[in-house]
Structure formats: C-alpha cells, structure tokens
Amino acid sequence: MLSACQLPEAYFTMECLEYYGQVNFLKAGLTTASAITTVSPTYAREILTPAFGCGLEGVLAKRQDRLFGILNGLDEDLWDPARDAALPLPYTRENLTAGKEAAAQELRRVLGMSPSSRPILGMVSRITEQKGADVLVAALEDILQLGFDVVVLGTGEGRFEELLKAAQAAHPDRVAVALRFDDRLARLIYAGSSLFLMPSRWEPCGLGQMIAMRYGTLPVVHATGGLADTVRDASQPDGNGFVFSPLTPQELVRALQRAKELLAQPEAWQELQRRAVSQDFSWKSSAQKVPRALPLAFRVRANGSGQVARAAGSVFPVPRAVALTEAPACARVFIVVSGEP
C-alpha cells in the first residue's frame, strides 16, 4: 500500500502509519497533527476511552494536550422561525406560544392526525439503534400513557421502522411515522412539538437539539457527547431541556414525567423556553473558540526543506493544509495539519 501511495517505508513505524501490522492513515494524522479538534468538549473526552475510541484511544490519550472539542455551529439564517416559510405562522419570542400552537395543528393536519391540545414529542432522526430507536419503541406505550402524542420522521433499520408503523396502526390519532426525508415536515416538527427527543447512544455533537431550542422546543436527550454540552436539565438554574442517564426506557419515561409536570406550570415552562431560544449556537460563537487550538497548529519550527520539527524531535513532511479525516463513525475527529504559515 505504501508504494501505491508513493510513501517511503520509513513511515511504517509505531510513531506514524503502523497499526497492528496494518497501515492506518488516521493514526498517522493523529500522531503528527499539530492540533486535533472534534465537535464537542464531552466527545473529546469520550474518545479517550475504549467505549468511544475505536482502538485509537491510546493514541489520542498520548496527544490529549493537543485535543480540543469545539461545538458545531448552527446556520441561524437557515433555521429561523421568524422567517421560516414552512410555518403557518412564523414567530419570534414575542409570539412564540401562538406560533408553536399554529405549527402543531398544521403538523397534525399534514400527518392526518385529529386536532388536539395534547403535547407532541417529536423526533427527526435516522431510525437506528445508535440513535436510540430501540429505547423509544420500548417506552412508547408508557409515553402515550403520560399523555404525549409521538411524531417520528426519518428512515433507518427495518425492524424499528416496522415496530413504529405497527404503533401508528394501533394508535392512528396518537402516533405518526413518516419514513422519508422531508424538509418541510422536519421544520413543522421542530416548531410544532413541545419536546424534541434525542436518545442517542453516542452523539459527537448533534444539531437537532440546537434547532429545536431555536424553535422554542425543549430537547429530551441522553447525556452523551454534544448533547451533554448543549442541553442542561430543567432541574438546574440555567436548565433548557431534559437530560437523562443511563439510556433505558425507564429513565426516558422518568424524564418525560418531569416534563409533563412542568408543562402543567405555564410560567415555569415558558421560562425554560425563553432560556432555550436565548442559546447562542451560531457559527460565530463556535469560531470564537477556535483560537485556543490554532496557536498550537502554528507553534512549530519549519526548516528550509518544508518539514516540520516536533517538540519530540521527530521530523515529518507536512503539507500546508487543513485536512478532514474520518474514523469509523464513533471516533470521528477533525485533524488540523499545518506546515509553514
């Protein structure tokens, strides 16, 4: 492989490309990058463990002084309830309640559900085990007993799709499942739901919870990755959603029970909504955190041959570029590689 890539055999070392006798370019990137960033602070810590590191946790642990977690940003022009053409009544903080009620009724109409004032638990997601579809399915009857209607949009594993379709057939006015990608319907779910569900087993960052809060919909999330960094439980003074752990149907139902109790207290609920819509998840906010990592990317000594000398004394030819490298999904990282500034 090295010859096919026109790379010298000298790179096939434990400090570079060699990984259990095989070539691993991601490992080489991790060991030679001036700085490594991933998409949330919690995920940056999680990938140092065997559960999330996919075999590279040891490599990452050795370089954790150069590992940074910086949240993804949200395009606030693309996701703006005040200018969203998909909504029957675009809204701001001033008319949030009216706008969300209009969206909820339009959502029910589009999905063929009867008009109702029951709160909607929405989910826009791949319908997979990684996204917690099994937890939702196991908890579904209890969720309905709590008084929530459930709307799910997405595609994924057939076994979960069939179980959700069966639930819809059993409760046609309480459960709606759309097995497709549909931007307009997604926007109606973000706006018309009272709660937005993300029971992910792992989630490097997640954007759904950010979009939901922008639309005044409170997220219900499993405490992992970027979900743990962006959602604070309603029991906290700065709460903006509902957080549960461990990832079980029982804990999900308990979180929804707490949400139901707060829904019965309009002032408390509206305060949570105000905190949610006040969150700054813009790219500007994310960009302000980048300077912490960039100095490391350029704190190197370039010699005349275009190589970069590391503090440890190793020398590698490094292109002047910023490269995006993907590991297996559970160890996704961004590698910043810099040569001469």
93-136 per-position pLDDT tens digit: 999 999 999 999 999 999 999 999 999 999 999 999 999 999 99
Burial of 94 (0-12, 13-18, 19+ CB in 10 A): exposed
Question: Could you read off the pLDDT of 116-127 as tens digits, one per residue?
Answer: 999 999 999 999
Which whole number is the average pLDDT over 301-317?
38
- Could you tell me if 185 and 106 are in contact, meaning their C-beta atoms sit under 8 angstroms apart? no
* SS3 at position 153: strand
Neighbours of 113 (CB within 10 A): 22
- Could you tell me if 151 and 164 are in contact, meaning their C-beta atoms sit under 8 angstroms apart? no
Answer yes or no: is pLDDT of 153 > 90.
yes
Question: Could you read off the pLDDT of 207-221 as tens digits, one per residue?
Answer: 999 999 999 999 999
* SS3 at position 99: helix
Question: Could you read off the pLDDT of 235-264 as tens digits, one per residue?
Answer: 999 999 999 999 999 999 999 999 999 999
- Could you tell me if 30 and 58 are in contact, meaning their C-beta atoms sit under 8 angstroms apart? no
**Domains defined for the chain, CATH in brackets:** 9-70+289-336 (no CATH), 96-281 (3.40.50.2000)
Which of 33-37, 147-151, 162-166 is predicted least confidently?
A: 33-37
pLDDT of residue 2: 83
pLDDT of residue 27: 95
pLDDT of residue 123: 99
* SS3 at position 19: strand
Which whole number is the average pLDDT over 301-326?
38
Which whole number is the average pLDDT over 66-84?
96
- At 69, phi and psi to the nearest 5? -110, 115
- Which candidate, 221, 243, 234, 246, places its Cα nearest to that of 274? 234
pLDDT of residue 4: 84
Question: Could you read off the pLDDT of 155-193 as tens digits, one per residue?
Answer: 999 999 999 999 999 999 999 999 999 999 999 999 999
- Which candidate, 198, 183, 228, 191, places its Cα nearest to that of 213? 191
